[in-house]
Structure 1
């Protein structure tokens, strides 16, 4: 098969170095210098000007400090200069960068403090200059606190260089660092007044403004943002970071039990915030690929199934269906979509060809950066028997630049049938779960001419599948764990294709260990979590045994013994038809619900939530929690931005990207797909990307010292 050449690898490296150099220029030359100076003087005598304000009112006598996080210094927190605001809130900071600092990627941060009050901003740009002064205000503070939540500590902001740079770009979706206004992505469709996210953002800005106005409100904020069992926050940014990491308070839905909501409603409340307390304080940014929310053939996406991130944090997503108007037949999706780390559509995307055909849950990157998708062949029934009828027998492969490697039919070798889960192991072997014929296909070293099919159970010719393999995940030993959606089981398959063990529902019918399973995910230690939907019977090709969707759960299997962890299965935390599942850099478990229930004739008005559980590393959980205890409230983390979710993954900055795969109340046979992705800003501990095999936490997440 076609692999990346050394020239392509070199070009990719040059591209990233160009990004890094551009970022250096952004944060050095872009901070305008004195006119008439030489190039050498320009390097020594830089300045950054701006305005510190709250509620559009300049703030005098604030101490303003400029910091940078440099990639070559391990992302440490380096002071560059300081100044103070005049009566109108204006400031100028002069600073210098050494030659070595100019050669590194850097992110600049401005902090303005007076007493306990703090306002902050992260400065970023896609250009090589910032020609106007910046604004540091309530909105830029909330944007910085959320986008950098996983990199903030009492000692500063520091961490993975790529994750930090990407976070600076994500922050601009929330607030414009030049004008200080709400970011264009948050202010407009599909966000704006169409979801509660902007109001949540404004409520948090009111909390910051309250601290600016009253010292006592700062003390109340710091106390409210104390981590469970920890010490109170030491400053506003740390408080905002803690609110993201622990976004729900006890006592819901009692408004009085949430001090953050109380602060947001105090006087002055400058911005139009929430009228009622939310289930959580996370920011759910909705992405459709443009400033629209209505479905039409001109949309970018329709029923995105799953997502994967490359080494630079770019997101790759697949489409179940072609974009179409509501209520119109939608045939198989034919596109692969690439988003920047800030959720902008990459020029040239979407990509076509390579045999793409209604790709489902399966998408992965291999060790050389190629993107693989499993072509399940999703389509509405009216498409069957037409020239648009989808095949269900291939995988597609694309280079990192979007060029298809696979032919127009896809790669079909290895008896692929209705493929779902598609995973690479660390040796570059691709594993495909064949929902349609109860088998898995191994593509050794990514070479389809060597593809091997391994049957997982007896199946007569023409017989419907009895097991329905669905999701695949690779453990530390290279074994592949495959969920059997109809078989109520999970099989562990050795690298040579031998079945090592079949895990079953167990002996207690009231608490089955495996129950209509869908997604599975490994943690950093090689343990495997499984999402038990208690509902889905995958349509490969027919759904004949749907469950009641009344007993959803998740189960943990230990990587060393292959036995269920004591106490499994685990419930609560807002589980409702769990579908996708992912583990973050703290081994915390995130579950993506297709709920609020199964697809019923009676429409539902309930919102979907995202569930979160304490993982195998209980030291990263709130004190007193055990493995499998829910961290999210009984509602889950709800938002009106969410619909029916399938896949979800965590990026290098700690953002959780989830797929609004179906509408809340769909017609299952006529364009049921949703047309958006939702990003939970800064919500999870970041991961090294791409995730191949068990996830690898980013070692540089811990903040450096001032």
Structure 2
């Protein structure tokens, strides 16, 4: 017989358990308190301060952290002095309460007025064991973070700052100080002048390292017109990116930055003559190639939509082909990282994609919408030709929708409700309504809340004869009141539609006896809801027929007030390198950027690089001293680069980079494949905006 078990009385058992829990709680609390009270872990960063490969002694080296996941903060972590060989060793620790963050880390090295800097990574675990700080890393950091630099501080919005780390690495390797692999290799490298421009900027900084007089010259001449000298070399580089041209009105004795670069030419290849601008234009084809072929990633990128984190969606006009082949309707949608690399899984197919043109947008829920214009060379219409070349005759009557993962939401034929016809401009408003400009039948299709089953067609004028539109709606933008402005390319008018889909106004192409609209294409809203229109003075969109026009004799842009819908005094505005304005965008400072399709007629020249034009907006606070609304900020040449072809679309990302489409080649053969195969990024050129762009741009210097 087993012995009876001894059991504790229930009351005593409860007391015992409570006491045990209390003791455990005290132990755990003590452990937590000990963890909080423990000093931050100390780490070490080693590196070299160099100029032209030689170590620089007696530089004060400081390591900083920019915290961007909460309230933006700029925090010094540690400092040291470089020895006789330029080597330094910085011991540092992240302050309590911030150890769980992934800060952006920067090195700044100073000696007198000379300064070198580098963006070295995101998060403590990604920092190289050793770094090199030199003129190239300084130029890379100054350009990529141009819109966030204020003195020695680098502070800004979360995604813009984080993404700029990758863009800086495209330009210079923080571990070695060498030219970054993106800038050094095809389709960049020696194929464009961007590498030489970058090296010339580095040479100007090298002059500052070598000579304090040259340093003071750099600080003085880099300052925005009418403002005090730059506070340091890093800010000087940033100011050159923000105000990249030195016309005779600003520098009557010639470009001072170029002159400085000639005195210490240690980095090569470098520019042999002063550029039209110091902007750095990086080219991306989706791979290490530039030659057009059927295995390219894209052929005729048309326009962009940028998501909240800075990832970039691109529509594509045509199937990739060599230059001597016909171009059939594009069947793909592309996505790039904020630093310009194709996202894994791109390109995306399906959803009814068919020769997309200018229309692409993101809605508030993150869906991507693409207007299927149906571009194709005439032989592609033949089913036998299409079958032989693995293509399909284009469709011109749908819009496609994709999820953020790149999977199609629309079926194989796209969404066709609402009498869609040769769609071009495609935009979302903040309520999630999708608006589609139907170039082929003089109307607009509205998808309420993005629902294709509730599609509504809005006539902008009399119903045209089939295939012969008289207005040719093209560009579309949404003002601060939710009204949709449609640029009518052939009609030389603007149609204004209320948020509920009513046509409320038609703005004529003449005002007080002057022409204010001339073959308008793209349009864009500024931060207050005023609308800017790009007047091509040439394009008659082929939807499907077009008139053969001569040259663009009076290319211009026009600003319309949101409240009165009348042209802003002085409109239309000219100059600034306008050749054939197509796309247009407004940045966070209300500066207006215009993207030129280049000289016309097409196919007659490849000698004249395409330029980007820049104008002072309605809010003049972001303009140089003495510059008024509509005045050009860019020189008469525009901001040119041989990296640019014929541009249609452009958008600004949270870092202030401008993304540009090389839609057609400069020397395009209109009969065979005329398209370009690249996108180009103007690094750090514009004031950042919040993305996605839905309605007026929202400035975002902080998030």
TM-score (norm 1): 0.91
Q: How does 1:500-539 map to 2 (within 5 A)?
A: 500-506=504-510, 511-539=514-542
Contact 1:479–1:495 at 8 Å: present in 2 too? yes
Rounded to whole Å, the distance in 1 between the matches of 2:658 and 2:579 is 19
Tell me the residue number matched to 1:572. Answer: 575
Closer/same/farther in 2, CA of residues 263 and 255 from structure 1, 3 Å limit: farther
1:163 aligns with 2:160: yes
Correspondence for 2:399 among 395, 401, 404: 395
**Which residue of structure 1 aligns with residue 472 of structure 2?**
468
- In the TM superposition, residue 84 of structure 1 has moved relative to its aligned partner by 1.1
1:365-412 CA distances to partner (integer Å, 9 max, x unpaired)? Answer: 000111111010111111012242100011111111111111111111
- CA gap of 1:552–1:460, structure 2 versus 1, over 3 A, is closer
| Alpha carbons of structure 1 residues 267 and 461: separation in structure 2 relative to 1, 3 Å | closer
Say if 2:421 is the partner of 1:417.
Answer: yes
Q: 1:111 aligns to what SS in structure 2?
A: strand
How far apart, in 2, do the equivalents of 1:551 and 1:508 lie? 18
Once the two structures are TM-superposed, the CA of residue 426 in structure 1 deviates from its matched residue by 0.1
Aligned to 2:151: 154
**Structure 2 equivalent of residue 478 of structure 1:** 482
Displacement after TM superposition at 1:100 (Å): 2.7
Quote the Cα distance in structure 2 between the aligned partners of 1:250 and 1:461: 50
Deviation at 1:102, TM superposition (A): 2.4
Q: 2:84 corresponds to which residue? A: 87
How is 1:175-190 mapped onto 2 (pairs within 5 angstroms)?
175-190=172-187
Equivalences for 1:317-356 in 2 at 5 Å? Answer: 317-356=314-353
1:219-238, aligned counterparts within 5 Å?
Answer: 219-238=216-235
* Contact 1:83/1:92, CA 8 A, preserved across alignment: yes
User: Could you tell me which of 542, 565, 568 is aligned with 1:562?
Assistant: 565
Give CA deviations for 1:630-656 in whole Å, capped at 9, x if unaligned: 000000000011110000000000000
**Alpha-carbon offset, residue 223 of structure 1:** 0.9
Deviation of 1:459 (Å): 2.0
Match of 1:632 in 2: 634
1:617 is aligned to 2:619: yes
Computing the radius of gyration from Cα coordinates, the structure with the larger value is 2
Q: CA deviation at 1:562?
A: 0.6
C-alpha distance in 1 between matches for 2:218 and 2:606:
37
After TM superposition, the structure 1 stretch with the greater mean CA deviation from structure 2, 302-311 or 151-160, is 151-160
CA offsets per residue over residues 422-456 of structure 1, 9 Å max, x none? 00000000000000011000000011001111111
Name which of 522, 535, 541 aligns with 2:544: 541
The answer on 1:658 being equivalent to 2:660 is: yes
Please give the per-residue CA displacement for 1:256-276, whole angstroms capped at 9, x wherever unaligned. 411100000004544331000
Q: How many angstroms apart in 2 are the aligned matches of 1:555 and 1:129?
A: 48
* Counterparts in 2 of 1:661 and 1:390: CA distance versus 1, 3 Å: same
Q: Structure 1 stretch 603-612 or stretch 298-307: which is displaced more?
A: 603-612
User: Which residue in 1 is equivalent to 2:15?
Assistant: none
Alpha-carbon distance between aligned partners in 1 of 2:46 and 2:282, rounded to the nearest angstrom: 30
**Structure 2 CA distance for aligned equivalents of residues 40 and 546 of structure 1:** 76
Q: Identify which range, 536-545 or 519-528, moves more after superposition.
A: 536-545
Q: What are the residue-to-residue correspondences of 1:49-88 with 2, within 5 Å? A: 49-88=46-85
Q: 2:409 aligns with which of 401, 405, 411?
A: 405
Correspondence 1:276 to 2:273: yes
2:25 counterpart residue number: none
| Distance change (3 Å), C-alpha of 1:507 and 1:77 | closer
Distance 1:452 1:134 in 2: 59
Aligned to 1:7: none
Indicate how the Cα distance of structure 1 residues 99 and 406 shifts in structure 2: closer, same or farther if over 3 A, else same.
farther
Residues paired across the two proteins, number: 662
Cα distance per residue 1:550-589 (max 9 Å; x no partner)? 1100000000111110110000000001000000000000
Structure 2 counterparts to residues 625-704 of structure 1, below 5 A = 625-700=627-702
Q: 2:198 matched to 1:201? A: yes
Question: 1:208-244: per-residue Cα shift (whole Å, max 9, x none)?
Answer: 1111111111111011112111100110001001101
- Greater shift after overlay, 615-624 or 244-253? 244-253
Indicate the residue corresponding to 2:214 in structure 1: 217
After superposition, the CA RMSD in angstroms is 1.9
Counterpart contact for 1:253–1:277, Cα < 8 Å = no
The CA distance in 2 between the partners of 1:301 and 1:354, in whole Å, is 18
Change (3 A) 1:152 1:130: closer
Kept in 1: contact 2:245–2:635 (CA 8 A): yes
Structure 1 spans left out of the alignment, 5+ residues: 1-37, 702-706
Specify the SS of the correspondent of 1:244. helix
Deviation at 1:254, TM superposition (A): 8.8
Structure 1 residue 176: Cα displacement? 0.5
Q: The residue matched to 1:211 in structure 2 has which SS?
A: helix
Structure 2 residue 107 is matched with structure 1 residue 134: no
Q: Give 1:429-444 correspondences, 5 Å limit.
A: 429-444=433-448
Q: Which structure 2 segments of 5+ residues have no match?
A: 1-34, 387-391
Shift of 1:296: 0.5
Partner of 2:14: none
2:97: which partner in 1? Answer: 100
Q: Contact (CA 8 Å) 1:149, 1:244: kept in 2 or not?
A: yes
CA distance in 2, matches of 1:252, 1:609: 20
Distance 2:602 2:83 in 1: 60
Give the superposition deviation at 1:623: 1.0
- Whether the aligned pair in 1 keeps the contact of 2:496 and 2:504 (CA below 8 Å) is yes
Q: Which residue number in structure 2 is paired with residue 288 of structure 1? A: 285
| Contact 1:125/1:169 (8 A) holds in 2 | no
Q: Is the 8 A contact 1:74 1:159 kept in 2?
A: no
Match of 1:34 in 2: none
Q: Any idea what SS the aligned residue of 1:295 has?
A: coil
User: 8 Å contact 2:286–2:297 — kept in the other structure?
Assistant: yes
Q: Secondary structure at the match of 2:661?
A: strand
Q: 1:567 to 1:76 in 2, by over 3 A?
A: same
Q: Is the 8 A contact 2:646 2:663 kept in 1?
A: yes
Residue correspondence of structure 1 range 372-383 to structure 2 within 5 A = 372-383=369-380
SS in 2 for 1:585: coil
| Displacement after TM superposition at 1:192 (Å) | 0.6
Aligned partner of 1:592 in structure 2 is 595
Match of 2:219, SS state, is helix
Relative contact order: is structure 1 or structure 2 higher (C-alpha 8 Å, sep ≥ 6)?
Answer: 1
Q: Do structure 1's residue 116 and structure 2's residue 120 form an aligned pair?
A: no
* Change over 3 Å in CA distance of 1:72–1:191 after alignment to 2: closer
The answer to whether the 8 A contact 1:149-1:245 is kept is yes
3-state SS of paired residue (2:263)? coil
